[in-house]
Amino acid sequence: MKFKLYFLIVLVSLFFISCGGKKSVIKSKNRSTSKSKTFVEKEDVALKRLPSVNQASHVKKLKRKSDDLNKNTLDYIKTYAPLAVVKMHEYKIPASISLAQGILESGSGQSTLARKSNNHFGIKCHTGWGGERVYHDDDEDDECFRKYKYVSSSYNDHSDFLTTRRRYAFLFKIKNNDYKAWAKGLKKAGYATDRKYPEKLIYIIETYKLYEFDKIGKRDLKKLKADPIEVTPVEKEVVVATTDAAEAHTVQKGDTLYSIARKYGTTVALIKKLNKLKDNHLDIGQKLILK
């Protein structure tokens, strides 16, 4: 009798040990799977078509000099440095500034806002935003932020945001390699309420040597196969929905090149080319060729 009881206890113990072992394996698998999706899920065609800016070797050099650098930030640089450089040549915003803002505002792509909406620059809805929205606590509870399908669209919107608002116009008189003046200028223009915003941007730029990307000229870039804005899936969706769009647009109050491009399923670059625009300034009543 004692032997049977002992045998039964052993069997029950083995059963529970077996179940416990299976559970721990499943949890471990789930953790690793979700972690590996951080950047893969947010890539789009635009990112894959960009030229190399030696971002991988840049990160390797940083790793050799210091083991204390944030891994997520290094991954962010490898993923988005080419996009920042391309935007620099298109909009005259230093690549170091775009990258540093993206890193700071999105927590290197790890923040809740970045994960839920691909919003890497903390841009709020503001008047005239017709895209998707998410609500997130910031300076106030439940504030409205812009939502993008892809991160490249967030970078496009950030560039348009700075170039089409007059309060940022003075920034474009600053030399492209003066990242310190740009950082201080963003705070002066009211981009962020944080008093230490310039210092934080400068720290990121200097710690990760992002100023090196400001030195990359157009000739240093490999020839692009396509305009990165045109291949962004978000823009393609708009094109499909507006195939029979008008051939011209009369600028109205509140219009920006980016909002017009989204409305008619085209790109800022194409509108500027067709209308021989040197910058993004628009006048009310101005007629723009769209095709």
Task: Provide the residue ranges of all domains of the chain, joining segments of one domain with +.
Answer: 45-220, 242-289
Find the helix or strand (DSSP H, E) in which 133 lies. strand 133-136
45-220 CATH fold: Lysozyme (1.10.530)
**β-bridge mates for residue 248, sequence order:** 289
**DSSP, residue by residue, 134-160:** EEE-SSSTTEEEE--SSHHHHHHHHHH
Reference 212, options 98, 52, 58, 103; nearest CA is 58
Distant-in-sequence, close-in-space partners of 54: CB < 8 Å, separation ≥ 6:
none
Distant-in-sequence, close-in-space partners of 52: CB < 8 Å, separation ≥ 6:
82, 222
pLDDT of residue 188: 96
pLDDT of residue 139: 60
pLDDT of residue 222: 60
On whether the 242-289 domain is CATH 3.10.350.10, my answer is yes
pLDDT of residue 114: 93
- The Cα 97–Cα 101 span in angstroms is 6
pLDDT tens digits along 256-287: 887 787 777 777 878 888 888 888 888 888 88
pLDDT of residue 250: 86
pLDDT of residue 234: 35
Where in 213-274 does DSSP place strands (E)? 248-250
- The Cα 140–Cα 136 span in angstroms is 9
pLDDT of residue 78: 94
104 near 200, Cβ under 8 Å? yes
pTM for this structure? Answer: 0.64
Q: Which two tokens stand for residue 250?
A: 């009369």
Low-confidence ranges of the chain (pLDDT < 70): 1-44, 138-139, 222-246
Distant-in-sequence, close-in-space partners of 240: CB < 8 Å, separation ≥ 6:
265
Domains 45-220 and 242-289 share a fold: no
pLDDT of residue 254: 72
| Rounded (10°) CA dihedral 91, 97, 102, 105 | -120
22 near 55, Cβ under 8 Å? no
- The Cα 37–Cα 33 span in angstroms is 7
Report how far apart, in Å, the C-alpha atoms of 12 and of each of 6, 15, 118 are: 10, 5, 49
Q: Quickly count: other Cβ atoms within 10 Å of residue 183's Cβ.
A: 25
